[in-house]
Structure 1
Amino acid sequence: MRLQKFLLRYFPPGIALEYSQRGQVKTKHIDLLSLTPRTDIAELAEAIANKEPLVTKNVVNQLVESLSKLQAKLYDSNKHLFYKYKTLKAHLLPLTNVAIDKQGQRCITGSYDRTCKLWDIDSGQEVHTLEGHRNVVYAVSFNQPFCDKILTGSFDKTARLWSSETGECYHTLWGHSAEVVSVQFNPQSHLVATASMDNTARLYYMVTGQDVAVLEGHTREVVSLHFSNSGQQIITGSFDGTIGIWDTRTAKREGLLVGHSEEISNCLYNFDCSLIASSSMDKTAKIWDPRTMSCLTTITGHQDEILDIAFDYKGQRLATASGDATAMVWDVHSNCNVVAVMQGHSEEVSKVCFSPAGNQLLTASLDQTARLWNAETGICSQVLSGHKDDVFSCCFSYSGHVIITASKDNTCRIWR
C-alpha cells in the first residue's frame, strides 16, 4: 500500500487517506470530530501517524499542513458575520421550501405557483424553471454532494426527478394517493424516498424512476423521513405519533418508536446514526437508541409545540425550535441538559439549523426575521431582517459562508 494524498472534509472535520493497493485506488476515512481551534495539531498528527501505517515519517509534515487547514476553517467560521447579498423575487405565489447545493453556488425554491426554480447565487439570476407539477411544489432536494439532480414533491400526489444542468424532467414518480410532503435522496444517490399524506412512504430507483417499495404501517400522515448514512435504513415520522425504522433492502419495518402523545413534526439520525431524535406537537423531543428501539431521554422545557429539530455535526447537541418563540440547544450526551436558550423572536420559531462548524444556530420565525445565535451562550449575534412576511425556511451552505432565507413574501434572500 502506498499513500498518494490527503483529502480534506471540512464539515464535519475529517481527513481521507487516498492510497493505491494492487493497482487500485482506495480511500480510508478518519473522522476528526474532536478537532477545535484549540487542538494541538502536532500532537494530533503524531497520534494519527502512530495508528495509521499509511502515514509514514516523510508525510507527517504534509499531514500537519492539512490538519492546520481544517483547524483554520473552524476558526474562520467562528468570526463570520453576514450581510444581505441578493433578494430573489422568486415566485408569483408564496414559497414553500428552499435548498442549497454543496458548493454554495446554486439554490432551489419551491412554490405554491406549481414550479421549482433553480438560481445562481452569485448573479441572483434564474437558471431554470422546473414546470410540470399540477399543484403546489412543497418539497425540494438536491442529491448531495453531486447536486446534478433535483427532486421535487407536490400536492399533485407525485414527485419528479430533474436534471439541475438542463432542467429536463427525467421521471415522474407515481403511486401516492395524496400530497407528497417530504422527499430525499439516499446518500449513495441510487434511491429516492417520498413521504405522503396517504400514510405511506415510497422508495424509487433514481435511474429508472421505478417504484421499489411501499412503506406501509403508519395509521396517519407521514410527514418526515431520513436515510441512515449507509442508506440501508430509513426512518419515517408520522402524525400517528410514531417513528418507523425500515430496512431499505427488504422494505420491512424493523422497529416502531412509540412514546409521543401527539403528531411528529420531524425525525433525524445523528452523524454516526447511533441516535435518533424526534420532535412532536406534544411539546417534547425524544432521543432514541435505534439498536434497542428504546427511548433514552425525553426533552421537556418548551411551553408550546416543537416544530423542528437539528443535530450539530458531531451528533452530540440537539437544537429545538418551538411555537413558544424560543429555540434551545441540548447536550444529548449529558442527560440532555440545556446548553443554551435562544430568546428574542416575538413569534413561533419554525426552523432551526446549526452552522456547519456547529458554533452558531440559525432560526427562522413568523416574526419576519431569521436570527443567528451563539450556540454555546444563546446570545443573538445577528438579526437577518428585511422580509415582509413569515420566514419559514433557512439553511447554510456547506462552507457556512452563505445563508438562504425563504419567506411567504414570495422572496428568498441570500446572505454572505
Structure 2
Amino acid sequence: MLYEQDRDEVEAMDTDPPVTPVTDPIPNVWERLMKKHRKSVAPSKGLIRSVHLPNSQSCSTLAQETTLTSQQQPARSDSNIYSSLNLQLEATYVAEGHTKPVLDLDISGHLCLTASADRTAKLWDLNALTETLTIRGHTNSVNKAKFHPEDPNMLFTVCAFFACMWDMRELQKPVHVLSSRGTSSSRMPELSSFMNIRQNVCPPGESIISDISLNGNQLLMAAATTVRLWDMRRPSALGFLSGHQGAVTVLHGQQSESDLLLATGSKDHTVRLFELNPYSCGCLSPVLELEPPHYDGVEAVVLDRENRLFSSSRDGMLKAWQLSREGGLTATPLFSLHKAHKDSSQLAMAETFLVSGCRSGCLKVWNAAAEVEDASRLICEQHLVSPTGKDNGINALETSGTRLFTAHNDATAKFWQIKGL
C-alpha cells in the first residue's frame, strides 16, 4: 500500500503542468505588471486663481518680499531722483495647469501663451481667468511659445530642433513645421526610438533652436551659431545672420519706421546688432558689436523705446548701452552692475524701468536712468519660494503696461502688479 502511494506521487511529479494561455499582448514585463495599477485620467483644464496676500508674513510659501522705497535708499546728492519712486511688486494671480516647469510665456492683449517641459503649450484668457486651449503632440519639451504679431489666430511653438506654426481654429496638426537647417513640412518629424527621449538629441544636420523672434511676416530662428531668416507667407528660408563664434542664445528686435533692429546674444560673450528690412535675404553681417563684452555667455537682451539696450549673462552681470543712429549705429556704455544676480537672469522693460529675474527665484526692479548711481539703482526686490521651500526659479519674463508675468519651475505662471508706475 505504501509503495503504490509513493509511485503515484512520483508519476504526478513527472507530469508537465498545464500551459497557461498568454492573453496579454504586452511583451514588456514591467508594462504588463503596471497595467493593472494605471488609471486613465483625463487631463484637467487649467485655471487662473487669485492670490490673496493679507500681509507679507502669511505669504512666505509664495514669496518673501523685501521692498526698498525712497526712504530706504542710501543718502546721496541727487536724492530728488527717488523722491517720487515707491515701487512694489504684488502677486495677483497664479496660472495652474502644467505638470512640469513653465519655460516660456508670451502676452498679446488679454491672452497669455505658456510653454512647458510637459510637452504642451497652453493658451490662457486673462479676462475669463481660465485655460482656453492646449497644444499637444510635441515630442519633447516646448522651449518657446510666441504669438504671431499680425494674425491673432496663429501661434508658434519651439520643440528641440523644429518650430511649429499653429492655427487656433484647427489644432489637429500644425500648419507648418520649420526645421533648424531650413526645410519646411506640414507635419512633425518622426523621431527614432533613441531620439524620442528627454535629451537634446538631434538628427544629423539639425541643431537645438534656442530662440525665435517675429517681425511681421518674417521669422528669425536662432540655432547653433547662426540666425535663420524665414518668410512665413510661403514659408521658405531667405537667408541667415552670421558673425557669432558661439551658439546664439537669445534674440530681441525693435521695430523702427523703416527697418528692424535685432539684438543677438551668444555664448561667445558678445552682443551684436543687425539691421533688417522686409526685403532682407542672403548672408547678413552685424552692423555693430557691443564693447566691452561680458565675461560669460549672454542669456538675455532687451531693447526699449528710448534706444537703450540691456543685457545679462551667466556671470550675473547686467550691462546697459545707449544706442544712436546719427552718422551710423553707435553704442555708448551706460552702466555695468556686477553680481546683480547669483546666476543668469531674464530681462523685461516695465515702462522706463528694468525688471530682471534669475533661476534662483530672485525678482528685481531697477532704475535704468543714466544719471543714477549704480549703488542706488535697485528699487525693489522679491525672493520667490515654492511650497516645498526651494527657490522657485524664473525661466521667462514678460510685461504689459504695469503688469508683469513670470514663468516658474513649479509648473506655474504668476501675474504681478507693479504698483507705483
- Which bracket does the TM-score occupy, shorter chain normalised? 0.5 to 0.7
1:281 aligned residue: 267
Deviation at 1:262, TM superposition (A): 0.8
1:260 aligned residue: 244
Deviation at 1:405, TM superposition (A): 0.7
Indicate yes or no: 2:96 matched with 1:112.
no
Given the two structures, how large is their TM-score scaled by the length of structure 1? 0.60
* Match of residue 323, structure 1, among 309, 314, 317: 314
2:367 aligned residue: 374
Indicate yes or no: 2:78 matched with 1:96.
no
Deviations 1:287-313 (Å, cap 9, x if unpaired)? Answer: 234479443322233211001212113
| Change beyond 3 A, Cα 1:288–1:375 | same
2:287 aligned residue: 296
Distance (Å, rounded) in 1 between the aligned partners of 2:161 and 2:366: 38
2:254 aligned residue: 270
The residue matched to 1:159 in structure 2 has which SS? strand
2:141 aligned residue: 136
1:225 aligned residue: 212
* Match of residue 94, structure 2, among 87, 92, 108: 87
| Change beyond 3 A, Cα 1:346–1:222 | closer
2:383 aligned residue: 385
What amino acid is the match of 1:395?
E
Aligned identity (percent) is 20
What amino acid is the match of 1:361?
L
1:236 aligned residue: 221
The 8 Å contact of residues 342 and 373 in structure 1, kept in 2 or not, is answered as no
Distance (Å, rounded) in 2 between the aligned partners of 1:83 and 1:201: 45
- Show structure 1 runs of 5+ residues with no match: 1-76, 177-193, 211-217
Deviations 1:101-132 (Å, cap 9, x if unpaired)? Answer: 22xx3322222223323334366443444444
| Change beyond 3 A, Cα 1:260–1:311 | same
1:191 aligned residue: none
| Change beyond 3 A, Cα 1:274–1:116 | closer
| Change beyond 3 A, Cα 1:79–1:110 | same
1:33 aligned residue: none
The 8 Å contact of residues 301 and 309 in structure 2, kept in 1 or not, is answered as yes
Indicate yes or no: 2:157 matched with 1:152.
yes
The 8 Å contact of residues 357 and 394 in structure 2, kept in 1 or not, is answered as yes
Indicate yes or no: 2:388 matched with 1:395.
no
What amino acid is the match of 2:121?
C
1:361 aligned residue: 354
Given the two structures, how large is their TM-score scaled by the length of structure 2? 0.60
Deviation at 1:264, TM superposition (A): 0.9
The 8 Å contact of residues 136 and 156 in structure 1, kept in 2 or not, is answered as no
What amino acid is the match of 1:259?
G
The 8 Å contact of residues 144 and 211 in structure 2, kept in 1 or not, is answered as no
Distance (Å, rounded) in 1 between the aligned partners of 2:347 and 2:112: 18
Higher RCO (CA 8 Å, separation ≥ 6 residues) = 2
The 8 Å contact of residues 231 and 238 in structure 2, kept in 1 or not, is answered as yes
Q: Give the greater-gyration-radius structure (CA).
A: 2
| Change beyond 3 A, Cα 1:162–1:156 | farther
The residue matched to 1:302 in structure 2 has which SS? coil
The 8 Å contact of residues 328 and 342 in structure 1, kept in 2 or not, is answered as yes
1:415 aligned residue: 416
Distance (Å, rounded) in 2 between the aligned partners of 1:369 and 1:172: 38
The 8 Å contact of residues 361 and 374 in structure 1, kept in 2 or not, is answered as yes
Q: How many residues align?
A: 296
| Change beyond 3 A, Cα 1:145–1:383 | farther
Deviation at 1:281, TM superposition (A): 0.2
